[in-house]
Amino acid sequence: MVIFDEELAALKEKILKMGLLVDAAVRDSIKSLVERDSGLAREVIRRDREINACDVGIDEEGVRLIALRQPKAHDLRFLITAMKITTDLERMGDLAEDIAERAIELNEEPPLKPYIDIPRMAGIARGMLVDVLDAFIRKDAAAAYDVIKRDDEVDGLTVQIFNELLFFMIQDPRATSRAVKITYLSKYLERIADHATNIAEMVVYMVEGKMIKHMKP
C-alpha cells in the first residue's frame, strides 16, 4: 500500500512540525522571562492556537487512517502512539503558555535575581523534547531510553530551585510573591520534561511492543 505509506509519512511530518512549534514556544517563553520581553510572551500565548490546531488535525487523521486502512500490529501501534503523543505535545504547549503568563507578571516587578537555573532546566527539557521527537521519527528505542534517564536531572533541579527560593522568601518577605512564581516556573518545566518522558515511554512501546511506563521504582 504505497498510498498508506505516504499517509503515514505525512502524519509523521505533522507530528514533527507540531513538536517544533512546541519547542519554539518553550524557548520563547523562557526568552521572554530572561529578557523581560512581555511582547514576546504575549506572542507565545497567541501562537498556542497553531499548536492546538495541529493536535486536532493529527487526531482526526489518525482516526481516519485506522478506520480506512485497518492497519495491523506495527502500523496500528504507530497510529495509536501518534495520537497519544499529540496529547502530550499539546499539554507541553499549554505549559509554555503558563510560563509566558508568569513571565508577564514577573516582568512587571523588579528582578529578584538573574535567572540561571530556570534557563538551564529549560535547556534540558527542550533537549529531551527534540531528542524524543527524533527517536519517534527514527523508531529508535535506545534514544528514547536515554531521554527517560535525563528526567532525574530535571527533578533534581526542581528541588534545588525550591530550596534556594525558600531562602529568599524567608530572608525578605517582600520577595515572596515573586519567589513563589519562580518555583511555579520550575514546576512547569518539570512537567514539560515529564511529558517528554511520557512520549519516550510510548516510543519504546511502539518500537518494542512493551509498556515500560510504570517500571520506575
Binding site for a second copy (CB under 8 A): 49, 52-53, 55-56, 59-60, 62-63, 66-67, 70, 72-73, 76-77, 80, 83-84, 87, 162, 166, 169-171, 173-174, 176-177, 180, 183-184, 187, 211, 213-214
Task: Pick the closer one to a second copy by CB: 35 or 174.
Answer: 174
Instruction: Output the CA angle 117-151-25, nearest 5 degrees.
Output: 60
Q: Round to whole Å and give the CA distance between 92 and 188.
A: 9
Task: Pick the closer one to a second copy by CB: 135 or 161.
Answer: 161
Task: Pick the closer one to a second copy by CB: 27 or 187.
Answer: 187
- Residue 13 Cβ, how far from a second copy at the closest point, in Å? 21
Task: Pick the closer one to a second copy by CB: 28 or 55.
Answer: 55
Cα 110 to Cα 105, 146, 164, 176, 183, distances in angstroms: 11, 39, 18, 13, 17
Q: Any alpha helices (H) in the chain, and if so which ranges?
A: 2-34, 38-69, 73-107, 117-138, 141-171, 176-208
Calculated CA dihedral for residues 29, 30, 36, 37, nearest 10 degrees = -30
- Residue 56 Cβ, how far from a second copy at the closest point, in Å? 5
- Residue 193 Cβ, how far from a second copy at the closest point, in Å? 14
- Residue 160 Cβ, how far from a second copy at the closest point, in Å? 15
Task: Pick the closer one to a second copy by CB: 28 or 88.
Answer: 88
Give the cell for residue 116: 540561571
Q: Round to whole Å and give the CA distance between 32 and 42.
A: 9
- Residue 84 Cβ, how far from a second copy at the closest point, in Å? 7
